[in-house]
Amino acid sequence: MRIAELDVIPIALPFAHPYVSATGRLERREMLLVRIECSDGTIGWGDAVPLSLRGGPGMAAVRRELEGACRPELVGTAIGAEPARLAAGA
């Protein structure tokens, strides 16, 4: 079984009340859903929640990384393949 597709889907969920801190104010939580489909039709879901308000990378940077680096590396890979090559730069 191999990874056949990797989709990145941006979503935003509004808060019932704004989140306010010394570094800013958030009206909603923006995140990326990651959908992986395998060659046998199995589908898995994950998420990435950039925390730019706390100094992390923003949505655009995380999406670029998922689509530009992770997708080409993972699509076509056999499930259970050694993931060390992905962590080499970590």
For 65, the domain range is 3-78
- Residue pLDDT tens, the chain, 90 long: 899 999 999 999 999 999 898 888 889 989 999 999 999 999 999 999 887 767 778 889 999 999 999 999 899 988 876 555 556 655
Question: Residue 50: how many CB atoms within 10 A of its CB?
Answer: 18
Q: What sign does the dihedral 35-40-42-44 (CA atoms) show?
A: negative
Number of domains in the chain: 1
Q: Is 86 domain-assigned?
A: no
Q: pTM (2 decimals)?
A: 0.76
CATH number at residue 65: 3.30.390.10
Rounded CA-CA distance 26/13 in Å is 11
